[in-house]
Amino acid sequence: MADERISWTEYFINIAYMVAERSTCIRRKVGAVAVKDKHILATGYNGVPSGVEHCLNAGCLRAKMNIPSGERHEICRGLHAEQNVIIQCAVHGISLDGADIYCTTQPCFICTKMLINCGIKRIFHVESYPDELAFAMLEEAGVELIQVERKK
């Protein structure tokens, strides 16, 4: 009898989308899952730091200032999903060296730099993100960027 289960890639991508449901971002819900040897190391979603009023209540600073997606990342109250994965690993003493990360959206340039320095080997994502610098740096660093199609 053939194995009819979903692939590991589909499994972890689906989990990333479930994690994204916790996001408090008004513009885009993003989730990320760090995985090594088919085991989840940490998850993260985009939102403000702990103890800070959520954008759902405070409003979106980027929207108020008409800042387009992919620009001026520093003007945001929130952290990206990938940043929250890295922070969770740091808080709990978990190394990301040699791990993969599954993201609902391609990481931005800032997150890309952080993931490279954490030793991430492959980045799986579904949705694209307009950040050419991220593409170039991943290629130079030898980190695989793999776009996958999500099956629903």
Residue 84, amino acid: N
Residue with tokens 């885009």: 28
Please say whether the beta carbons of 31 and 88 come within 8 A: no
Active site residues: 82
- For 103, list phi and psi in degrees, rounded to 5: -125, 145
Please say whether the beta carbons of 125 and 107 come within 8 A: yes
Residue 25: CB partners within 8 Å, gap ≥ 6? 46, 47, 55, 60, 78
Please say whether the beta carbons of 6 and 147 come within 8 A: no
Please say whether the beta carbons of 75 and 81 come within 8 A: no
